[in-house]
Chains A and B, each alone.
Chain A
């Protein structure tokens, strides 16, 4: 069974991003929700599916549905960290294919910056976490630093190579009016930005912002009735392998290896067909490991792949074209913004940062501490 063309994305939108003190998680999601429905040309009363993830509230799915006045007949709160929304896209496709709903909305919002909600940084000390808690590994950056240390030792990867990704991603952000940091960045600035957990430095790490996003997913029948060109789901795969970093089977191979294989097979495309790529950049090392796991380069070649600005504007591998979690926004669970940017690129709505002739996009969301991954391949008609 395949999800190829089982659904189309009809509308996408962000809320206000960055620092939004006059907001709550509910108002930001309402902003994004209304804007995405407007983008799609769909009425709220047509929404019958709701997919939500968030580290807020008691029961986020119920709270946001109540606030928006939705009583969905299909609900999914799969919550696997920042990759949740790529999982949701696959789940929405399956539900639509099964006839369980016709118009599903994927939603996220966070006020972590304004409210200084450091929930994700808390060191837990129960269940499996009690075996890591005594050592003060900062979460999540320490886990990613451990993976980087392993990749450096195994393959000779360097901090300069990681820095080049941060620089290239900032160059994309300079072309995106909504990006939080748009000043030019140099390799030296990244290298001199101060160690957080070796070998990762401050500018290897994503932003800490507010923000919300929404994605409207519709059945093929609904897609045909809308004004904007539908962006079709061609393939999706998902996997998760562990919750805490000491349990990750191999620190240089992420669950993207499994999810990517499935997504490519379902879509019936190869790496050469991908015009634009949006990969979760919680940290620079996340992107390197994901590129290798997806097979864009061989194990150990990720550093060379990223070096010297290949992924930036004008490079031959356009990557994280909105400026990414590193420079555009990162409100805790960033994955929904990968979908939003890929859809805009395929619709040619990206102005200065538009990738020419983009027809097929690949999205790869990573959650937890390299724990979960879903790959989605999207395409135009």
Chain B
């Protein structure tokens, strides 16, 4: 969580700065053009360095999902809650939460969802998804 983060992280700081503004940032390779997430300094496809930062529209499809009933201690009060893997339209996959309001919201694999940033358990904005 944020309190653990006591050093600068050049891979992550622009991402979290975007999250704080409600913007979903990823990177794109300037050589082979693939979308890169999580953000990193080298293209995991072709090896080109210094991919450019880009902004996602935040829309995608649920690739996998699980509802957590037995939660880690720090998350126990929130259980049950749903965790997603989402394939974003720009061509990358990421993990996100399912927005818990309204609490009866559910999704299944294949549903279209869109991102919204809301405070995670550490108080820092994190990407949560809601059905379209």
Contact = CB atoms under 8 A, between A and B. Distances in A.
Contacts of B12: 130
A72 interface: no
B66 A149 contact: yes
B72 A149 contact: no
Q: How large is the interface on B (under 10, 10 to 19, 20 to 34, 35 or more residues)?
A: 35 or more
B95 interface: yes
Contact of A198 (B5, B15, B67, B75): B67
A346 to B, nearest CB: 38
A150 B64 contact: yes
B6 to A, nearest CB: 10
Interface string A156-181: 00000000000000000000000000
B1 A136 contact: no
A198 B9 CA distance: 34
Contacts of A197: 66-70
Nearest to A143: B66
Contacts of A142: 66, 68, 83
Contacts of A153: 64, 108-110
Given A125-B5, A136-B68, A137-B95, A150 B63 contact: yes
A39 to B, nearest CB: 39
Interface stretch (B27-35, B50-58, B117-125): B117-125
A244 to B, nearest CB: 8
B71 A198 contact: no
Interface string A131-146: 1111111110110011
A146 B126 contact: no
B62 to A, nearest CB: 9
A245 interface: yes
B103 to A, nearest CB: 16
Contact of A146 (B4, B64, B96, B120): B64
A147 B65 CA distance: 9
Contacts of A315: none
Q: Which of A136, A195, A245 has the most CB of B within 10 A?
A: A136
Contact of A246 (B65, B67, B94, B121): B94
B70 A138 contact: yes
Q: Interface on chain A toward B: helix, strand, loop, or mixed SS? A: helix
A141 B75 CA distance: 15
B97 interface: yes
Given A125-B4, A150-B109, A153-B108, A251 B64 contact: yes
A280 B62 CA distance: 28
A128 interface: yes
B69 A121 contact: no
Contacts of A227: none
Interface in A176-233: 194-200
A123 interface: yes
A146 B66 contact: yes
Contact of A134 (B65, B70, B85, B126): B126
A198 B122 CA distance: 25
A137 B83 contact: yes
Interface of A: 121, 123, 125-128, 130-139, 141-142, 145-150, 152-154, 194-200, 245-247, 251
Interface of B: 1, 4-5, 9, 12, 15, 37-38, 63-72, 74-75, 78, 81, 83, 85, 93-97, 108-110, 120-122, 124, 126
Given A135-B97, A136-B83, A153-B64, 6 more contacts: A125-B1, A128-B38, A134-B120, A150-B109, A245-B95, A251-B63
